Amino acid sequence: MTDKNLPEKFLLRMKNMLGDEFESFLKCFDSQPKKGIRLNTLKCSKEKLESLLEPEKSPTSELSYFYEGKVGAMPLHAAGAFYSQEPSASSAVTVLDPKPGDYVLDMCAAPGGKSTQIASLLNGEGLIWSNEVVKSRANILLSNMERMGVRNAVISSAYPNVLSKKLGGFFDKVLVDAPCSGEGMFRKNDEAITEWSEEHVKSCAERQLEIMRSAANLVKKDGILVYSTCTFSMEENEELVKKFLEACPEYLQEEINVPFGRKAFDNKSLRLFPMDEGEGHFVAKFRRTADNFEYPRLTEYKEDKKDLEGQKLFKELFNIKPWGVIKNIGDKFIIMPKDKLPDFKGITILRAGVILSELVGKHTEPHHSVFAAVKPCEVKMNADFKDGDENLHKYLKGEEIEVDENFKGYTLVSVEGVALGFGKASGGRLKNKYPKGLRLIN
């Protein structure tokens, strides 16, 4: 029997669900789940990450590893070489299988574990639209997408029914990683245990069906909708699938065949119990078979005279062509995602594309966002440091650091060739431009 104070009703439900396997399920509560990281191929190669950290591969995605080390204060983490993620959490995106060029919506996206995984797999081609209804959480999502150097993202904070009305049939693939009763979190999070009740499970299932009905309208014909949770309850998983198929008969459920986890109780979806090195993840996959309606009108962004200053600045800083159209919006210059986008009216958009610069006082200053999204070979000036160099720690604390005497002006700071941020160099010193909100305290 575990020391965890698990609710009696929860234990009874799990016993009924698992039968003979209940004891081995319970035994898992005596240990903590294995920790993990996920490679961000937008900024770092597999070879580099493997040689620097020596993580152990996980079967749940080609980018996921088991890794027990502390990552929070690592410069490579701050640079977005990888994302800290328990490996089984990557399974939903493995099932979604985004390909370069796809338009993908992540409906419940914060803090961004799955959105950043999708962005890696798109490799800059197509679009990742990450939505998070809770504004404070949407800001964390934005910061993670920025750290991972994603160029082709739109980040919004809207209710699913609002997106559903405005963006019908716009996406090739939609992920609903639904808010759930979080039973899969019980091993590492005692708060999830105290919040649990059968009523909570029921109200989560009602909300999940509502979100799925909105999501259904957003997928184009032949497109894919993936539903996932990190909870064990039948109401939020197999029973939800059944209710969704009844409510949206234009969808067919597809069988999931992957080399990890096990078949769920409906024989088509996927489950990852702690006995399978999973944290209660459930994944179901659907294909939309009927025609769309209300497809949104798209806008093609074109350069005009107002945008010339932004283009000039880009040319001064980088030795590549901009990957999207540079637009002057308010006091900023933005590099828009390169594909056409729908009208944003009525949707709260936190970011579309990458900020090139903003007005600070009377001067236009480059923005951290663009330096986080480039490679050292793409910039005019780069101060690169080996992992472990004390200059990196100083930089992350917001201090001035020493650089090559020949450097003059805006300079990329990187760790092992992975872009971290920037500063302004002169006379062998680099004035720190790492954002205050991201700095290490000690």
Catalytic machinery residues:
230
Residue choice 1, 12, 73, 134 for contact with ligand SAM (CB under 6 A): 134
Q: How far is the CB of 226 from ligand SAM (least distance, A)?
A: 11
3-state secondary structure of 58: coil
Q: Is 189 left (phi over 0), alpha (psi -120 to 50) or beta?
A: beta
- Candidates 79, 141, 137, 92; CA nearest to 118 is 92
Angle at 400 between CA 397 and CA 402, to 5 degrees: 120
| CB contact at 8 A, 119 and 154 | no
**Integer Cα distance of 165 and 293 in angstroms:** 11
Q: How many CA atoms lie within 13 A of 117 on its CB side?
A: 31
User: Hunting for tokens 């109780």 — which residue is that?
Assistant: 265
How many residues are recorded in the chain? 442
What residues numbered 172-201 form the site for ligand SAM, per CB under 6 A? 177, 179
| CB contact at 8 A, 220 and 172 | yes
Kindly tell me which of 33 and 111 has the beta carbon lying closer to ligand SAM.
111
133 binds ligand SAM (CB under 6 A): yes
Q: How far is the CB of 108 from ligand SAM (least distance, A)?
A: 3
Tell me the site size for ligand SAM, rule CB under 6 A.
16
Q: How far is the CB of 442 from ligand SAM (least distance, A)?
A: 28
110 binds ligand SAM (CB under 6 A): yes
Kindly tell me which of 269 and 382 has the beta carbon lying closer to ligand SAM.
269
Q: What is the DSSP letter of 296?
A: P
3-state secondary structure of 338: coil
Q: Which stretch binds ligand SAM (CB under 6 A): 105-113, 198-206, 339-347, 395-403?
A: 105-113
| CB contact at 8 A, 341 and 154 | yes
Kindly tell me which of 211 and 354 has the beta carbon lying closer to ligand SAM.
211
Q: Which stretch binds ligand SAM (CB under 6 A): 126-134, 273-281, 283-291, 342-350?
A: 126-134
Question: What is the chain's Cα-based Rg?
Answer: 23
Residue choice 108, 167, 226, 317 for contact with ligand SAM (CB under 6 A): 108
Kindly tell me which of 38 and 43 has the beta carbon lying closer to ligand SAM.
38
Residue choice 200, 207, 287, 338 for contact with ligand SAM (CB under 6 A): 207
Q: Which stretch binds ligand SAM (CB under 6 A): 45-53, 102-110, 325-333, 335-343?
A: 102-110
Q: Which stretch binds ligand SAM (CB under 6 A): 34-42, 106-114, 164-172, 334-342?
A: 106-114
211 binds ligand SAM (CB under 6 A): yes
Beta strands in 246-317, from DSSP E residues, in sequence order: 251-254, 262-263, 270-272, 281-288, 298-299
| CB contact at 8 A, 131 and 163 | yes
Binding site for ligand SAM (CB under 6 A): 108-114, 132-134, 137, 160, 177, 179, 207, 211
